[in-house]
């Protein structure tokens, strides 16, 4: 029987990369987007044409009450199993600490942390009901480990997601469900990030960004039999950036 995955935040960037890797390996997909349907529908059509999989798009704004449950009801109408749930949906919004608004605070917390919590809860309920020893992967960030200006909400929220993965892993282990988190650094996920490329490389010992496909490959590994002893783990993939404490020191050969 073909495996089924749901990936949130898959209308662009990292989420798209994850979907492409999973489709290549034969996963049927539920592709979530929060806003613009067109890119997600284009991705769906591409993956169906390239790999012959079943793929559907669901739109859900995590700021709206009941959005998580409604999204999974749409999933239930299309699929009768769930092997992998990857919560990639999130926003990166920052402001100086003294200028941070309550509105921005709530938006970052609700989409990133509340979304991770309740989407994972819905996914786990289905895996348990279906008797599937599935895999859940949450997207954290390397900013959970070190401080960046104007990220006084985003950083702690991503740290909380990493801790959430550990708590969920402990509670879901009796059902054979594994929960892990990936904490990327800079990922080549959007043209909007291009102005930061050269300056950011200065603080990355490997001197480059990750690709969205590399994130997808790690999700695939964690969901595979090869990764079936990983649970409660937080895997940082940032080219060594979180090891770097002195931005003036360069790892020159």
Give me the sheet containing 84-87, strands edge to edge: 55-59, 28-33, 4-7, 84-87, 135-139, 178-184, 234-237
HSE (CB half, 13 Å, CA atoms) of 18? 34
C-alpha–C-alpha distance, residues 47 and 54, integer Å: 9
3-state secondary structure of 65: coil
C-alpha–C-alpha distance, residues 14 and 187, integer Å: 8
Beta-carbon contacts of residue 118 (< 8 Å; ≥ 6 apart): 68
Residue 221 annotated to the active site: no
Of 51, 56, 146, 154, the catalytic one is 154
Nearest to 162 by CA among 181, 146, 137, 147: 181
Partners of residue 86 on adjacent β-strands: 7, 137
The catalytic residues are: 154
């Amino acid at each position: 029987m073909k495996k089924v995955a749901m990936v949130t935040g898959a209308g662009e960037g990292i989420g798209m990369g994850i979907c492409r890797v999973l489709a290549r390996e034969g996963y049927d997909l539920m592709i979530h987007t929060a806003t613009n349907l067109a890119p997600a529908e284009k991705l769906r059509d591409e993956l169906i044409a390239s790999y012959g999989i079943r793929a559907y798009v669901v739109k859900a704004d995590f700021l709206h009450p009941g959005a998580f449950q409604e999204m999974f009801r749409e999933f239930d109408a299309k699929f009768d199993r769930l092997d992998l749930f990857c919560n990639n949906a999130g926003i990166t919004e920052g402001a100086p600490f003294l200028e941070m608004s309550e509105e921005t605070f709530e938006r970052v917390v609700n989409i990133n942390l509340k979304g991770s919590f309740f989407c994972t809860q819905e996914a786990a309920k289905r895996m348990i009901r279906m008797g599937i020893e599935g895999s859940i992967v949450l997207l954290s960030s390397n900013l959970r480990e070190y401080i960046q200006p104007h990220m006084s909400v985003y950083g702690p929220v991503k740290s909380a997601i990493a801790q959430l993965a550990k708590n969920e892993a402990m509670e879901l282990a009796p059902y054979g469900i594994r929960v892990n988190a990936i904490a990327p650094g800079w990922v080549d996920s959007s043209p909007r990030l291009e102005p930061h490329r050269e300056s950011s490389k200065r603080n990355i010992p490997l001197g480059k960004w990750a690709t969205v496909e590399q994130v997808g490959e790690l999700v695939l590994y964690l969901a595979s039999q090869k990764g079936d002893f990983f649970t409660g783990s937080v895997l940082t993939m940032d080219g060594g950036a979180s090891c770097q404490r002195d931005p003036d020191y360069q790892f020159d050969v």
